[in-house]
Amino acid sequence: MLPRKNRVTKAFFEEILEKSLCVHTPLFSFRFRKLQPGQENKFTVVVSKKVAKTSVERNLLKRRSRAVIQDTTRDDLRNRKFGIAGVFFLKKEASAASFNLLKEEIQRVIIEVLK
């Protein structure tokens, strides 16, 4: 579970959707914007009913994604000059993907965005 300070609020979610850049992968779309120096990184994960019909499946995908995000932010984002706020929109392919594949894609995209 992401700490509350690292979660996107409802108001900020709307702002990210309006003023953001987007990266597409086979497993998800990532909309993000850069934050001011000193601000905490903020993330959220969205899984629609079109992706996974049952709440059990949707919650599993969200937990896995959040775990990867939390591990990545611990290691890679601490020494950066700016933070990012982003929303991961998972696709149907993510439900069939293994945890390791999802982990590699999320880490690759976050590191790519920070360059």
Structure-token match 């934050």, residue found: 35
Give the mean pLDDT of the chain: 88
Q: How far is CA 9 from the centre of its chain?
A: 14
Cα 33–Cα 37–Cα 42 angle in degrees, nearest 5: 45
pLDDT bracket for residue 53 (50, 70, 90): very high
Domain boundaries, position 28: 4-113
Which comes out higher in pLDDT, residue 64 or 78? 64
Tokens (6 digits) for 49: 């009913």
Q: Report the domain count for the chain.
A: 1
The pLDDT, as a whole number, for residue 46 is 95
Q: Which of 41-45, 79-83, 107-111 has the lowest mean pLDDT?
A: 79-83
Domain CATH code at residue 38: 3.30.230.10
- Backbone dihedral angles phi then psi of residue 12, each to the nearest 5 degrees: -70, -30
Residue 1's pLDDT band (boundaries 50, 70, 90)? Answer: confident
- Tokens representing 24? 């597409």
